[in-house]
Structure 1
Amino acid sequence: MSEHADLLIIGAGPAGMAAALAAAPSSARIVILDDNPLPGGQIWRDGPQAKLPKQAQRLREQLENCGNVRRHASTRVIACAGPKQLLVENDERGWVLGYDKLILCTGARELLLPFPGWTLPGVTGVGGLQALVKGGLPVRDQRLVIAGSGPLLLASAATARHNGARVLRIAEQAGSAAVAAFAAQLPRWPDKLLQSFSLFDHHYRTGTHVLAALGTDRLEGVRLQQQGKIVELACDRLACGFGLIPNTQLGQALGCELDGQVLTVDTWQASSRADHYAAGECTGFGGSELALVEGAIAGYAAVGDRRQAQALWPRRARWQGFANTLNSTFSLDPRLKSLAQPDTLVCRCEDVPYSALATHTDWRAAKLASRCGMGACQGRVCGAATQHLFGWQPSAPRPPFSPARIETLSCLDDSPPA
């Protein structure tokens, strides 16, 4: 079974939705693939305890009203099936999806750094906690500590607090001077300034980072380095997030070049491969506003409407300025590389400690000797951690990109050779 799209969009977060809506008036046959049940990505994730902003609701409604846009929910890309063909799978079937042009809006995932106790039950990522709470996880009256870096700490705290959690501390590793300088620039982006007021929490502390999660069978407390002093807090949950890692694996598999850790794009959001575009956090981090305008530019450019795309360049430049300020403010302190102890697990899927990795010189050697990155997450967590800790470059992705059924893989037999 196969399908063909004039324009295929991978990812239905803000960038993907904006790309589809920009391209829709062209009457092109548009297909959106996303691994979530509903559009919105992580930032606008839906669930029993989620409250979607009006902008997200409006974009969803507009998308549903586009007769030439077809959305495949809960669908994953498994492999490249040939030139401009992908093998995809949902909960019911697998099939080959061909396309003329493609826009990658694959977003980003959390950077999780290992520290003593980070594998204890009760310790999660910051974005992970937010997703769990929106999905219905009860946190009422639970004592919560949030640690790491960036505005997501405040957003996650607000979601948990809204659902009854007791936020004891928000530990931001960036220093007070850097955060104050960032706050002083927020009037350049009035919406962000207003948002900062709604997210403010008096438990927020700068110059503070996690040292260890405490407990035996589950989390019982956390040890923090707070502005030069050691502080211990009893808590029921600890959420840590140290920024984001762009999801570039599919782009790399398709032959798109990288610029550092992100996909390379030009002013039209075009990648290094002809007819392949990219937008949103797989090209750099800047929040939903930047993702929306990048997605719209990519959508217009992909259907040949360069005039509309170029008209959005000033808006993109404005939000790129915010992104640059954000990323420089919350860059990680080098001291965070020393959190892990020799017995701290780095690859939690294969139980590989820091000491088993520190003697190696690159990712491949460490993987061959220790099985690091060969477990269920396929290096998505430990690969990013070792890249930060040791400067290792993870290997290029190999299919299948996600776990797949045998029947799905058999679809490759029916596709033309690459």
Structure 2
Amino acid sequence: ELLRGVASHAGITVLSGAEVIAAEAGGQSHTLTVSAEAGLSHIHAARVILATGATERFLPFDGWTLPGVVGAGGLQAMSKGGLDLRGVRVVVAGSGPLLLAVAAGLRQKGARVLAVAEQAGLPGVAAFGVAAARLPGKAREALELAAGLRGIPYWTDAALVRANGDGQLQSVTLRRGRREITLACDFLAVGFGLVPETRVAALLGCPVTDAGAVNVNAWQATGVSGIYAAGEVCGIGGVDGALLEGLVAGCAASGQIERLHDSPRRAETQRRFQATLERSFALRPDRLPSPSPATIVCRCEDVRHGQLQGFTNWTAAKLQTRCGMGACQGRVCGPACQTLYGWRFGGVRAPLAPLPLSQLLAEPNTLSPP
């Protein structure tokens, strides 16, 4: 209903299948360069709301490039897109509440989910469950999720050791305590939480917190005049927090502050939940994969763990190995290197994604909202 209302509104232009590939902040007007099937467009606007969401964090381990090893959210999307998982053996591993939702969804599609391996400890997971149950409507959702997971082993304090196979994933080795367990499987759905997608914000000059999220005030303003942000680009907090932040940003950007009388109280509840989420699933070095020197870290440029261990920062590593300079522009290896080596990925530049040369050669469209 919401999508139909937006699409039919006379004052709204919808660009589907579009991606921001460049952005520039101006004094009175900001410019976004957008690539879509119709071609390249320059969008000029006095106010911009960024809702670029988050991406999955992948950490390299031995065997992670084998066919059959996929992102947890990626396998979920593939199943929704028509991939037949009936009878397929799946291991779900990594960290975060997304793993539980993915496991339940895959099982509903007919997959045999052998186990969910979570690196966080049981006390942290329990604290998150209590915090989630206190949010309106979440207790019922938790019960429905638990019903969908009944019978699937959920192992906390579990470390992903390696994926095994000859040209194709055949099994996964996990560590529980001092004991290693190897499970024969067809897919490994893996992800170590979510990372705010801040690349467009970086091009616009928006300040970013130490946690890697866009820094906003109570009205979701970023500190760059006319630019607001909402959702998981501001920190990982779930759908309810994203919806609230979207309402606040929309009202603030359009001059409807009077509609937000109840928002501060609701926002405080969401902030407490987000803080609990971060504490509960904080990555623990002793439970993270330990790649060997031959393990690929940057898949685009085929750069291996052993090649990167002698460097102290991104700049030096990029100059000598091209790490982070491939087609994904560091979206995969950036968060991985920050976790492995403590490097803060920087140097975001346009274009943010590959685009057809024909779009660069053609005269771009120009959209200037009234």
TM interval, short-chain normalised: over 0.9
The question of 1:339 aligning with 2:295 is answered no
- Answer with 131-140 or 164-173: which moved more: 131-140
In the alignment, is the contact (CA less than 8 A) between 1:115 and 1:340 conserved in 2? Answer: yes
The question of 1:265 aligning with 2:265 is answered no
Could you list the per-position Cα deviations for residues 71-91 of structure 1 after superposition, in whole angstroms to 9, with x for gaps in the alignment? Answer: 111001122367311221102
Letter of the structure 2 residue corresponding to residue 380 of structure 1? R
- Answer with 66-75 or 159-168: which moved more: 66-75
Aligned partner of residue 293 in structure 2, secondary structure: coil
Task: Name 2:300's counterpart in structure 1.
Answer: 349
Letter of the structure 2 residue corresponding to residue 71 of structure 1? V
The question of 1:405 aligning with 2:322 is answered no
Could you list the per-position Cα deviations for residues 1-60 of structure 1 after superposition, in whole angstroms to 9, with x for gaps in the alignment? Answer: xxxxxxxxxxxxxxxxxxxxxxxxxxxxxxxxxxxxxxxxxxxxxxxxxxxxxxxxx433
The question of 1:181 aligning with 2:127 is answered yes
In the alignment, is the contact (CA less than 8 A) between 1:94 and 1:407 conserved in 2? Answer: no
Change beyond 3 A, Cα 1:407–1:98: farther
Change beyond 3 A, Cα 1:185–1:269: closer
Supply the distance in 1 between the matched residues of 2:131 and 2:289 (Cα, whole angstroms): 32
Q: Which runs of 5+ in 1 are unaligned?
A: 1-57
Deviation at 1:277, TM superposition (A): 0.3
Letter of the structure 2 residue corresponding to residue 246 of structure 1? P
Aligned partner of residue 219 in structure 1, secondary structure: coil
Letter of the structure 2 residue corresponding to residue 115 of structure 1? F
In the alignment, is the contact (CA less than 8 A) between 2:91 and 2:116 conserved in 1? Answer: yes
Deviation at 1:411, TM superposition (A): 6.0
Deviation at 1:206, TM superposition (A): 1.0
In the alignment, is the contact (CA less than 8 A) between 2:40 and 2:364 conserved in 1? Answer: no
The structure 2 residue matched to 1:243, chosen from 172, 176, 193, is 193
Supply the distance in 2 between the matched residues of 1:214 and 1:409 (Cα, whole angstroms): 43
Letter of the structure 1 residue corresponding to residue 16 of structure 2? A
Change beyond 3 A, Cα 1:160–1:414: closer
- Answer with 309-318 or 91-100: which moved more: 309-318
Task: Name 1:63's counterpart in structure 2.
Answer: 6
Aligned partner of residue 266 in structure 1, secondary structure: coil
The question of 1:155 aligning with 2:98 is answered no
The question of 1:390 aligning with 2:341 is answered yes
The question of 1:219 aligning with 2:169 is answered yes
In the alignment, is the contact (CA less than 8 A) between 1:256 and 1:272 conserved in 2? Answer: yes
Letter of the structure 1 residue corresponding to residue 76 of structure 2? Q
The structure 2 residue matched to 1:77, chosen from 15, 20, 24, is 20
In the alignment, is the contact (CA less than 8 A) between 1:85 and 1:99 conserved in 2? Answer: yes
Task: Name 2:69's counterpart in structure 1.
Answer: 123
Deviation at 1:297, TM superposition (A): 0.2
Task: Name 1:146's counterpart in structure 2.
Answer: 92
Could you list the per-position Cα deviations for residues 266-319 of structure 1 after superposition, in whole angstroms to 9, with x for gaps in the alignment? Answer: 110000100000000000011110000000000000011112134322222222
Deviation at 1:191, TM superposition (A): 2.1
1:6-405 to structure 2, matched below 5 A, reads 58-80=1-23, 83=26, 84-200=30-146, 201=149, 202=151, 203-260=153-210, 261-337=212-288, 339-405=290-356
Letter of the structure 2 residue corresponding to residue 183 of structure 1? G
Could you list the per-position Cα deviations for residues 109-139 of structure 1 after superposition, in whole angstroms to 9, with x for gaps in the alignment? Answer: 0000001100000000111111111111111
Deviation at 1:394, TM superposition (A): 1.2
Supply the distance in 1 between the matched residues of 2:128 and 2:346 (Cα, whole angstroms): 35
Deviation at 1:180, TM superposition (A): 2.2
Deviation at 1:350, TM superposition (A): 1.5
Q: Which runs of 5+ in 2 are unaligned?
A: none
Deviation at 1:68, TM superposition (A): 2.2
Q: TM-score, normalization: structure 1?
A: 0.82
In the alignment, is the contact (CA less than 8 A) between 1:118 and 1:213 conserved in 2? Answer: yes
Q: What is the alpha-carbon root mean square deviation over aligned residues?
A: 1.8
Q: TM-score, normalization: structure 2?
A: 0.92
Change beyond 3 A, Cα 1:63–1:223: same
The list of structure 1 runs, each at least 4 consecutive aligned residues, that deviate by more than 4 angstroms after superposition, is 410-415
Aligned partner of residue 404 in structure 1, secondary structure: coil
